Amino acid sequence: MAIKAEDILVLSSIQDKRVQVANPYRLITGSFFMVNDVSEHFDIDKSIDRLYSEGLIRKNFPKEYIPYFNVAELKNLLTEIGCKKIKTKTKYSLVELAKVHLSDENIINSPLYKPFYIITDSGFEALEKYHNVVWFSLYKYDIYGHSDHNNRFNIQYFFSHPEIDPYEEMVEYFQDKNDEVVGRLYYLKNDFRNSVLYGIKTITSIFTESIDNAAGSKYRIESYNLQRIFWSVEWVKKSYSHFAEDSNQFIDEIQNCYDTFKYKNEIAFDLFSEIVFKVLLNEVEDFSSLQLSLINILEENFPDEDDYGDFNERYVAAQADQAALLGLLISHLDLEMLTLMKEQINIRIKEFEELN
């Protein structure tokens, strides 16, 4: 029974969790067993069966469960087998005492005993061999951000090609396709110089797209917000922080980006470069004057062409569709997943509050 890519993620998640043998969707604590990558669909039963069949996990030996009894439970178990006047009060001492005096049968017969799975040496070897699967699962959102994920690279790809260097493979593929993905990859690799170089290209692309969307719409020009536009480039700012004392070393790259900038006839290089540097330095408090200058330029060069009634109808309809989809999603989630979602929502709300 050969293992699959998703099995590696289940195996990785078992490392620091004690999954019940009787119910692999639960931990011995009673909590739900959650695979680290919540974006993938997992049939945990089948994954566990394959991992166990291949010898990558095993069931615990009874005495391996002793540390998971609490102090009161350990004292009761020791008392039941005739250990009287137990003087020790520390959990460690009780565990050591229990290892000496409790038999496997004593432990198995306890109603509190819940056998769990443990990774074998072969399992750790599999995690080492397929470490790129776990790497991609952990960092795919750092690589792609909020853009659409690429169909070429997924856990199955890295499972099928365990020998490749994922950074080199992905950088080569995206080199002429997506500057942001390349920049994010260099950031994850701690190659901060190349991360900044591609970050400047990314800032230029985001800036260009924001003007494309605003041009010809009085409503969008008046609500133009540089902080909101550049909220997603934290990786660029963090990369640039390693070079902030020598900002001139990137002026040539800024000039190169400006030379191909779609709106260089409307926006002077000085304004363009100042916006780029403010983003890199994360000096968002200085955006207000630049934003006013930019809004004036947009209003002057791109007359209003919007049909407000039609725009408002589309906006309201889009919001209603999103609310309906969100309601449908929530109706299918359990309490633990809703709690996790609540935490993520609170984080996003905090981010928007900080921007505004």
SS (H, E, C) 109-122: CCCCCCCEEEECHH
Q: Using CA atoms, how far apart are residues 52 and 117, in angstroms rounded to an integer? A: 9
Cβ-based neighbour number of residue 250 at 10 Å: 20
Question: Under a CB-based contact definition with an 8 Å cutoff, are residues 158 and 136 in contact?
Answer: yes
Q: What is the dihedral of CA 84, 88, 89, 92, to 10 degrees?
A: -120
Q: What is the mean pLDDT of residues 114-120?
A: 97
For position 245, what pLDDT does the model report?
Answer: 74
Judged against a pLDDT cut of 90, whether residue 340 lies above it is answered with: no
For position 228, what pLDDT does the model report?
Answer: 78
* Residues across the chain: 356
Per residue in 264-302, pLDDT tens? 999 999 999 999 998 998 887 777 788 888 888 888 888
Looking at the chain, the whole-number percentage of residues with pLDDT higher than 70 is 89
Q: Which of 152, 189, 154, 148 is nearest to 168 (CA)?
A: 189
Q: What is the mean pLDDT of residues 23-39?
A: 87
Question: Under a CB-based contact definition with an 8 Å cutoff, are residues 277 and 230 in contact?
Answer: no
Q: What is the mean pLDDT of residues 63-80?
A: 93
For position 354, what pLDDT does the model report?
Answer: 62
Per residue in 178-221, pLDDT tens? 999 999 999 999 999 999 999 999 999 999 998 888 887 777 77
Judged against a pLDDT cut of 70, whether residue 356 lies above it is answered with: no
C-alpha distances (whole Å) from 56 to each of 117, 119, 146, 294 are 10, 6, 35, 60
Ranges 73-82, 180-189, 229-238, 308-317: which has the least confidence: 308-317
Q: What is the mean pLDDT of residues 106-134?
A: 96
Which residues lie closer than 8 Å to 108 by C-beta, 6 or more apart? Answer: 62
Q: What is the mean pLDDT of residues 45-64?
A: 96
Q: CA triplet 205, 210, 215: central angle to 5 degrees? A: 125
Per residue in 228-258, pLDDT tens? 788 888 999 999 999 877 767 899 999 999 9
* Tokens matching residue 12: 């990785």
- The confidence band for 166, taking pLDDT boundaries of 50, 70 and 90, is very high
For position 40, what pLDDT does the model report?
Answer: 67
C-alpha distances (whole Å) from 281 to each of 209, 233, 241, 274, 306 are 21, 11, 7, 10, 35
For position 229, what pLDDT does the model report?
Answer: 81
Question: Under a CB-based contact definition with an 8 Å cutoff, are residues 183 and 236 in contact?
Answer: yes
| Helix/strand/coil for 57 | strand
Q: Which helix (H) or strand (E) holds 58?
A: strand 57-59
Question: Under a CB-based contact definition with an 8 Å cutoff, are residues 115 and 65 in contact?
Answer: yes
The answer, as to whether pTM is greater than 0.85, is: no
| Helix/strand/coil for 20 | strand
- The confidence band for 46, taking pLDDT boundaries of 50, 70 and 90, is very high
* Tokens matching residue 229: 């536009």
**Alpha-helical runs (H) found in the chain:** 5-14, 44-53, 71-80, 91-101, 104-108, 121-129, 131-144, 155-160, 166-174, 179-188, 192-214, 218-222, 226-229, 234-240, 251-259, 269-281, 287-301, 308-331, 335-355
Question: Under a CB-based contact definition with an 8 Å cutoff, are residues 223 and 217 in contact?
Answer: no
Q: Which of 167, 158, 170 is nearest to 133 (CA)?
A: 158
